Amino acid sequence: MTPPGAEGAQPPGDAPYEEYAPSVGVGPHPLPWPQDERYDKELLAHGDRRNVVDRYRYWTVEAIVADLDLRRRPLHVAIQNWEHDFNIGSIVRTANAFNVAGVHILGRRRWNKRGALVTDRYLHVYHHASVADLAAWFAERGIPVVGVDNLPGSLPLETTALPESVCLLFGSEGPGLTDEAVAACTYLVAIRQDGSTRSINAGAAAAIAMYAWGLRWIRTDLSSA
């Protein structure tokens, strides 16, 4: 039986994307065009449909990266990539929102970029073939590596004061951090959970951890950033 008022409705997911997604971006820039090297002439002529804040409309990718570099946060994010995890893209997208200093892919060089929605273009992405390589990179720079996983001995994220300059290390969806990765961490933190499942989605956990770091170190109203 069809619920009242639902006649002709399409099931969730069946409607074309264009029907429910608002138009993104802006059309061609009116003449005269701004005379600034940061602007991309192709975008000025044809419009900018990228998912960027208004400040960066019509800018080249290189100009956007250069501007972001002036105010990168001293937060690094590292992800173990042993299983081509689809969550990596989601984590990278969140890392872009926090304008982190670097994203580090540990393990396989090729990673699942689908969820990143090209936000990796505006980040500095590093590859480390092994845990030893990752640990050495951060040791040379005096940056502690803090693992995020609900393992025995983990400290509660909610009450742990994360350093300002730090690398948050996340494992793959399912297996979590490997024993070798855990050994390379200065310490571990875990997100408190009161439900029935053992863990939460890796992408969601990464977003929570980055936000927890931001609450301590970003001196602005995150809700309006």
Same-domain status, 97 and 197: yes
Same-domain status, 38 and 121: no
| Domain CATH for 98 | 3.40.1280.10
Quick check: 102 and 74 in contact, CB under 8 A? no
pLDDT band at 24 (very low <50, low <70, confident <90, very high): confident
Q: For residue 9, is pLDDT > 50?
A: no
φ, ψ of residue 76 to 5 degrees: the values are: -115, 150
Quick check: 173 and 85 in contact, CB under 8 A? yes
The predicted pLDDT at position 85 comes to 65
Strands, E, within the chain: which ranges? 73-81, 100-107, 125-128, 145-148, 155-156, 166-170, 187-190
Same-domain status, 86 and 55: no
pLDDT band at 97 (very low <50, low <70, confident <90, very high): very high
How many separate domains does the chain show? 2
- What's the pLDDT tens digit per position in 115-143? 898 999 999 999 999 999 999 999 999 99
- What's the pLDDT tens digit per position in 28-67? 999 999 999 999 999 999 999 999 999 999 999 999 999 9
Please tell me which residue, 30 or 19, carries the higher pLDDT value.
30
- Given the structure tokens 């300002």, which residue do they identify? 164
Average pLDDT, integer, range 158-187 = 94
- The residue range of the domain holding 109 is 72-219
Q: Which two tokens stand for residue 56?
A: 């960066």
The predicted pLDDT at position 197 comes to 82
Q: For residue 95, is pLDDT > 60?
A: yes
Same-domain status, 56 and 87: no
* Domain-embedded: residue 180: yes
Please tell me which residue, 113 or 179, carries the higher pLDDT value.
179
Q: Is the peptide bond before 34 cis (omega within 30 degrees of 0)?
A: no
Same-domain status, 99 and 121: yes
- Which of 7, 38, 66 is the last residue before a domain boundary? 66
Quick check: 103 and 127 in contact, CB under 8 A? no
